[in-house]
Amino acid sequence: MASLTDLVNLSLSDTTEKIIAEYICHLAYVPELCSPLPLQLIFFLLLRKIILIWLVLVQTLSGPVTDPSKLPKWNYDGSSTGQAPGEDSEVILYPQAIFKDPFRRGNNILVMCDCYTPAGEPIPTNKRYNAAKIFSNPEVAAEEPWYGIEQEYTLLQKDTNWPLGWPIGGFPGPQGPYYCGIGADKSFGRDIVDAHYKACLYAGINISGINGEVMPGQWEFQVGPSVGISSGDQVWVARYILERITEIAGVVLTFDPKPIPGDWNGAGAHTNYSTKSMRNEGGYEVIKAAIEKLKLRHKEHIAAYGEGNERRLTGRHETADINTFSWGVANRGASVRVGRETEQNGKGYFEDRRPASNMDPYVVTSMIADTTILWKP
């Protein structure tokens, strides 16, 4: 008799050319939803520090597909997600990017989608649409913007919503030995982290590294360098894969920017950025000009850089104060950090340290490009 594990791991390619396509998109963070969710659901989500809601639909296709334009559009009931009224409830999924499925393997795929009305208009929570317009602008495309996003996150015990490895109702020793640490008393959840790393590589995501973070139970993965809109696609799918793996492990994943108040580091999504002009000779002057533009639009960027970021950007724990823009070379207490090597070489990249861990990568990446390339103060 086959076990459940045997059936889950069945290889379809032995018996059929058909494949499974898992269509995925993120709906919203709770505050962004177009119409109210039931109060009980909002309370449940906030209590568990889960503020990111996914939509997953799975269908069978007749054979392998590698081009998202060859995939069929799909629809779902938007009235069930607060995105459409009951009398006109269909929301249309447009396939935008394909990744190999590390869970089903074979020719099966994950499909990153964005959402539209039946008339073809992007719904309010579709942040990819405007990002794609910015990245398709000839001025932006000519600069080939590169992004490297450092995605921090925290693993929680399912039944207590307390960080993984922390004593129930108590606290571990002070921060210090946990950052990039090893050992059963310092590193919690490494099996999840390593599984995610390999799954992302299998899927075709340009994940470039992982590390344990300053607060125990907190980790980071890096995606990049990625060009333009693909950065957002890859970060979203990497997040999705991580959420699936933590589901299997029975652990809760949170992107809350300050999951534990007090003398504990928050979680960010530091965004490393460069353009062709910055990477070429004389690029350091281009970098400084770009940083000056970011300073002038500091309030606009902060407003778009994630929910609850004011709890994280306090001027402590390797952050700048949320109300004050600053930059410096090798300064991790600044809004924007320039690497020492970039200063020495006179070209390179810079790091925007303001985005929260729950930021929308479509919004952040496109906004940085818009401000530094297109905006004329």
Question: Per-residue pLDDT tens for 60-112?
Answer: 999 999 999 999 999 998 888 777 778 888 999 999 999 999 999 999 999 99
Categorise residue 190: left if φ over 0, alpha if ψ from -120 to 50, beta otherwise: alpha
**What is the span of the domain harbouring residue 33?**
4-125
Residue 264 resides in a domain: yes
Per the CB < 8 A criterion, the answer to whether 229 and 131 are in contact is yes
Find the CATH number of the domain harbouring 37: 3.10.20.70
Residue 134: inside a domain, yes or no?
no
Q: Residue 344 — pLDDT band, cuts 50, 70, 90? A: very high
Q: Is residue 190 part of a domain?
A: yes
Question: Tell me, what amino acid is at 271?
Answer: T
Percent of the chain scored above 90 by pLDDT? 82
pLDDT, position 51: 54
159 in the same domain as 43: no
Q: What is the pLDDT of residues 36-54, one digit of tens each?
A: 444 444 444 444 444 567 8
19-29 and 52-61: which strand pairing?
antiparallel
Over residues 145-157, mean pLDDT: 97
Among 7-21, 149-163, 180-194, the range scoring the smallest mean pLDDT is 7-21
Residue 282 and residue 145 share a domain: yes
* Alpha helices by DSSP H, 25-66: 39-47
CA distance 324 to 307: 18
Q: Which one, of 172, 198, 134, lies nearest residue 364 by Cα?
A: 134
CB 51 within 8 A of CB 29: yes
Report, as an integer, the average pLDDT of 350-362.
Answer: 97
Structure tokens at 119: 């008339």
Q: Where is the domain boundary, 103, 125, 147?
A: 125
Q: Please write the tens of the pLDDT for every residue from 274-295.
A: 999 999 999 999 999 999 999 9
Closest residue by Cα to residue 27 from 50, 7, 54, 46: 54
The residue from 68, 95, 125 where one domain ends is 125
Determine whether 16 is exposed, middle or buried from the number of CB atoms within 10 Å of its CB (0-12, 13-18, 19+).
Answer: exposed
115 and 57, same domain (yes or no)? yes
- Do 197 and 334 belong together in one domain? yes
Any domain includes 199: yes
Residue 15, domain member (yes or no): yes
Quick one: 214 and 180 in the same domain?
yes
| 120 and 146 inside one domain | no
Length of the chain: 377
One-letter amino acid of 118: P
Degrees to nearest 5, angle at CA 235 with 270 and 292: 35
Mean pLDDT of the chain: 92
For the chain, helix (H) and strand (E) counts, in that order, are 11, 13
Domain count, the chain: 2
183 by Cβ neighbours in 10 Å (0-12 / 13-18 / 19+) ranks as: exposed
| Same domain as 232, residue 339 | yes
Read off the amino acid at residue 41: L
- The most distant pair of C-alpha atoms in the chain lies apart, rounded to whole Å, by 70
pLDDT at 52: 67
Q: Is the domain of 115 the same as that of 146?
A: no
> How much is the pLDDT for 53?
78
pLDDT, tens only, 10-37 = 888 889 999 999 999 987 654 443 444 4
Q: Name the β-bridge partners of 60.
A: 20
Q: Distance between CA 198 and CA 83 in Å, rounded?
A: 34
What are the distances in angstroms from CA 233 to CA 129, 164, 227? 12, 28, 10
In a domain, 327, yes or no: yes
Same-domain check for residues 243 and 336: yes
Per the CB < 8 A criterion, the answer to whether 372 and 290 are in contact is: yes
Residue 23 · residue 95 · CB < 8 Å: yes
Q: What is the mean predicted confidence (pLDDT) over 150-161?
A: 95
